[in-house]
A and B are shown apart, each in its own frame.
Chain A
Amino acid sequence: MTIDPIHQFQVQRYVELLHVSGVSFSFTNSAAFMVGIVAIIFFFLTFATRGRTLVPGRMQSVAEMSYEFIAKMVRDSAGTQGMVFFPFVFSLFMFVFVANVIGIIPYTFTVTAHIVVTAVLALLVMGTVVVYGFFKHGTHFLKLFVPSGVPSFLLPFIVVIEVVSFLSRPISLSLRLFANMLAGHIALKVFAFFVVGLASAGVAGMFGAVLPFAMIVALTAMEVLVAILQAYVFAVLTSIYLNDAVHPGH
């Protein structure tokens, strides 16, 4: 095996389902993990709430806490009207969270370390903001780019800035998650290769390998933090952006 810290991100085609003029549609390891993530989320939450007990057990508490956590997040950011997006934000958070956490396990594939995945998620968010905003408020939605109380001579600049900031949202939203996942996993792999390299260099090397190994332990702990934090950040920013769809007038 060659030293290749980006091998872990390789998409492998398991079954090619369709191939039309250079575009292929296949069942890949990425797809398998996505299906697995959805299955884990659904079956865990269903299993955890199977008792529907009045006094929750441990698992039911986890399910209820995640529910209340996201519900509070959406309500705080987007208000009560924003609660229409609660299932959407909840799905997003759970998907990103489980994808990130699963990715920390060695030999797994990190779905969210692919920019196309995070970009689609981010575009889904922004697309929802735009579509729902126009659907609900019509042209009034454009007020989002025209803040009130701004001197008229500044208004054109402000509008340009608002538009640019709006357009940069999906980019920052997707890049943040993608870069965090990618960088963390590459760092982990690099240190893992140090361990292997040093350990194969003799007895002294074996002792030396303890250092990068300790580093892996520390980095893994940090990756767990990052995985949870990035899922949280993604969900919070989503709620804040969705607030624009509900209340475009600020």
Chain B
Amino acid sequence: MTKISKLTLSVALNACVLLGSTVLAVAAGADGHGEGGFPPFDVRHFFSQIVWLLLTFGALYFLMSRVTLPRIGRILEERHDRIARDLEEASQRRAESEAAQAAYEKALVEARGKANTIAGEARNRLSAESETNRKSLEATLATRLEEAERRIEATKTQALSHVRGIAVDTAQAIVSALVGTQPSTGDVEGAVDKALAAKPAA
């Protein structure tokens, strides 16, 4: 504002200087020119024109600098501020939406990871279970197999032990049928044992 008042001062000073010098000039030259000259050079009207110009231009300057220009300036400034504010808000909103997008993607990745983990755990658990089942089944089967083998072995041993008795009885019967005498059980047993030892069971 001080700058404006300085300028107003300088303009006012100016006007005074101009007015003073013109009054002198016009007063000096007033008699020199008669009626009907070239109008723009008609000195008789100079004074009025200068005074009215200074008055009207002064008024215009006052109105423009005090009323009109601040008014237009304010409108422009408000628009400028509004645009700046809107742009700022827009960029803020964009940042927010970008943040939301990033959060969403992060959540998505997390969820996917979690799902993978759960699926893996389930798979591991199931395969471990089936492995255990398989092992226990195999163990049972192995036990039963062993038992069966043992039973077969026992039966075989039993059967084999019967073979000697049958052979002794059979040999005793054959001998008695052929020879007509009953060999002693001890002799037959000894012969059978000898034969068994000579010809091991296949």
Binding site for B on A (CB under 8 A): 6, 9-11, 13, 21-28, 30-31, 34-35, 37-38, 41-42, 45-46, 49, 52, 54, 56, 60, 63-64, 67-68, 84-88, 90-91, 94-95, 111, 113-117, 120-121, 123-124, 127-128, 131-132, 135-136, 178, 182
Contact = CB atoms under 8 A, between A and B. Distances in A.
Nearest to A87: B65
B61 A52 contact: no
> B-side binding surface: helix, strand, loop or mixed?
helix
Interface string B159-180: 0000000000000000000000
Contact of A178 (B3, B40, B67, B75): B40
> A-side binding surface: helix, strand, loop or mixed?
helix
B87 interface: no
Contacts of A86: 69
A135 B60 contact: no
A49 B10 contact: no
Contacts of B48: 11, 13, 24-28, 30-31
B1 to A, nearest CB: 11
Contacts, number: 168
A28 B39 CA distance: 13
Interface stretch (B23-31, B91-99, B114-122, B128-136): B23-31
A42 B71 CA distance: 12
A1 B28 CA distance: 34
A23 B56 contact: no
Interface residues of B, number: 55
A42 B68 contact: yes
A113 B42 CA distance: 13
B40 A84 contact: no
A139 B53 CA distance: 31
Task: With a 10 A CB-CB cut-off, give which of B11, B17, B18, B23 has the most chain A CB atoms.
Answer: B11
A123 B7 CA distance: 15
A34 B53 CA distance: 7
B10 A131 contact: yes
A46 B67 contact: yes
A41 B30 CA distance: 34
Contacts of A67: 69, 72-73, 76
Contact of B78 (A22, A54, A84, A85): A54
A11 B39 CA distance: 7
Contacts of A34: 52-53, 55-57
A68 B73 CA distance: 9
A30 B69 contact: no
A23 B47 contact: yes
Contacts of B15: 124
Nearest to B83: A54
Contacts of A85: 7
Contact of A54 (B13, B59, B74, B79): B79
B45 A28 contact: yes
Nearest to A178: B40
A10 B199 CA distance: 169
Contacts of B54: 120
A54 to B, nearest CB: 6
Given A64-B72, A127-B18, A114 B27 contact: no
Contacts of B26: 23
27 contacts: A6-B38, A11-B48, A11-B49, A13-B48, A22-B30, A25-B51, A34-B55, A34-B57, A41-B60, A52-B74, A52-B75, A64-B72, A64-B75, A67-B69, A84-B6, A87-B61, A87-B65, A88-B65, A111-B53, A116-B40, A116-B45, A116-B46, A117-B53, A121-B53, A127-B14, A132-B6, A132-B7
B150 to A, nearest CB: 105
A73 B54 CA distance: 24
Given A27-B48, A123-B18, 9 more contacts: A22-B27, A28-B45, A30-B49, A31-B49, A41-B60, A84-B4, A120-B50, A127-B10, A135-B6
Contacts of B51: 25
B53 to A, nearest CB: 5
A25 B47 contact: yes
Given A23-B23, A49-B71, A116-B50, A91 B56 contact: no
